A and B are shown apart, each in its own frame.
Chain A
């Protein structure tokens, strides 16, 4: 077990190094950092002095190591556009994105898993056909269109919910949260649903496919043949076995949630990291782009490490070694 976890850790570190390298290459090769940092009136001598000061004349490897160790210490450099420290810009934006992402993921799980189980157990029911049809349309509508539709319906036509921004927020330490005010929740609903719908359809279809596979397995047929009560058969036997592969995908989906929050944040003017990233792309603000990448990859790797640990909790075949 220790070996397995260590192996995954090494893989995660590899992914992080690769992404850091990507970010570094961005910084180093896309445009000239010095000319970005200085104005037109700066002399060539000043530029050269800055270049030397930044260590840009050092060997490539040395630069990359310095870049990585800066990242590790939380020194993310300065934005070309606002001249602010990137670390500050990103950390201000993290709470908004994380709250949006987590609520969206929860919506997708709370609705998606039961719907998947239901449609797997009643494959020929009318409700199942309806749900399946709806989800097919669901995966086919781009996230931004769902956002527009919700804005149009709940914001414009019914005037029930706000259509942009985070509403009232509360500061808990440095964490700015919209989860503690009624107004904040009202603002969160539309973006979270928009972001959750796509993940929901994926979750549902996956749970359904896995559940149908499990329901055909020998051990379910055997449990059926010895009269195990149906509720236990469905949930204790079948659903538990379904969750092993489903958890992997949910881990991967978290990346999708964060990525699509770029779109959602843009539609709802939600002040999160995604919006920041979009702006930085428009202005070719390389340091922000690079750091955003690193942060996203870090979240992704972290979630997937947690998923690996969940495996051990669920599957005894990994936990308990062979003893005949």
Chain B
């Protein structure tokens, strides 16, 4: 059936790599689950009327005292764990994906231009990247968050949490893209097909977008995957530190922070189920990233 696909082409390799297939399947499953959370989830964890304290701290269904209405148990507020996790993953993914897309557009744009034009423009972009590197991702994100707290009035702050968090993560990840895009552009710029386009008198914008960009997509795809994982981790970490999302709109990180309170008591599911879910999601994305890295850097295999 797949005979028309050339051996060694990405899709062929993908179909023949069990780990990549499983990872893609899991990622797709989680993304679909998160996308359709309102349809799938047994209850809405944001809706205070849909759960009651009466159902609090119920264990998963296979443990004594578990109820079939709450397959994975409930937290202390009586919220269904499955629903919380699906909605939490939805929030985590929305923030992660949006941040990744913003970082990609910003970073690739600047990196392409810096690599193509070189000279002073390149120097300025790279010095900014230097400064950014001196302040690692999590620090940048924390800082932007802190600034937002200082500038925005309190009532707006609560409504802007998701936006601020997304921007904070995006701004702390753009450097990866900029540096990768710039380094690849430097290599491509001196290849003869680009020289041919310059000699023809093609517009620089056309050369960058039509000629060079398709040729540097490989390494960028790797960074996109890896940074999606980073963005999700970053969001979880910030929420865990209590700086990200508040408890009434929990992301996966917030759920874990809430679960921490039950570390010493017997209610293990409140902590470990969201934790395992987060790890599975990130591992799956990273396996995909690794697979892409193997394809686009065959040298490393």
Task: Give the interface of A toward B (CB within 8 A).
Answer: 11, 14-15, 18-19, 22, 26, 29-31, 136-137, 139-145, 148, 151-152, 156, 209, 212-213, 216, 252, 255-256, 258-260, 262-263, 266, 277-278, 280-282, 284, 286, 289, 293, 296-297, 300-301
Contacts and interface: CB of A to CB of B under 8 A. Distances in A.
B240 A144 contact: yes
Given A142-B278, A255-B136, 19 more contacts: A11-B127, A15-B127, A15-B130, A18-B131, A29-B151, A136-B286, A136-B287, A140-B282, A140-B285, A145-B275, A145-B279, A213-B300, A216-B299, A277-B142, A281-B142, A281-B145, A281-B149, A289-B143, A301-B134
Contact of A137 (B150, B256, B279, B285): B279
B263 A152 contact: yes
A8 B190 CA distance: 27
- Among B150, B263, B283, the most chain A Cβ lie within 10 Å of the Cβ of B150
12 contacts: A11-B127, A18-B127, A19-B135, A29-B151, A30-B150, A140-B229, A148-B263, A148-B275, A151-B263, A262-B241, A278-B142, A296-B135
A11 to B, nearest CB: 7
Given A14-B127, A136-B290, A137-B283, A300 B134 contact: yes
A104 to B, nearest CB: 14
Nearest to B142: A281
List 10 A-B pairs, minimum CB-CB distance, nearest first: A30-B150, A259-B136, A140-B282, A140-B283, A281-B146, A300-B134, A297-B134, A18-B131, A259-B139, A31-B150
Contacts of B233: 140, 142
B286 A15 contact: no
B134 A255 contact: yes
Interface of B: 127-128, 130-131, 133-139, 142-143, 145-147, 149-151, 229, 233, 236-237, 240-243, 253, 256, 260, 263-264, 271, 275, 278-279, 282-283, 285-287, 290, 299-300
A248 to B, nearest CB: 11
- Among A139, A141, A142, the most chain B Cβ lie within 10 Å of the Cβ of A142
Contact of B134 (A19, A26, A156, A216): A19
Contacts of A18: 127-128, 131
A92 B131 CA distance: 26
Tell me whether chain B's interface is mostly helix, strand or loop, or mixed: helix
Nearest to A278: B241
Nearest to B281: A140
A151 B253 CA distance: 18
B93 to A, nearest CB: 15
Contacts of B151: 29-31
B150 A263 contact: no
A168 to B, nearest CB: 24
Given A137-B279, A156-B264, A256-B136, A142 B237 contact: yes
B139 A296 contact: yes
A165 B16 CA distance: 50
A148 B134 CA distance: 28
Contacts of B149: 281, 284
B131 A213 contact: no
Contacts of A143: 237
A142 B286 contact: no
B286 A213 contact: no
B166 to A, nearest CB: 18
- Among B130, B134, B138, B279, the most chain A Cβ lie within 10 Å of the Cβ of B134
A262 B142 CA distance: 10
B243 A281 contact: yes
Contacts of A281: 142, 145-146, 149, 243
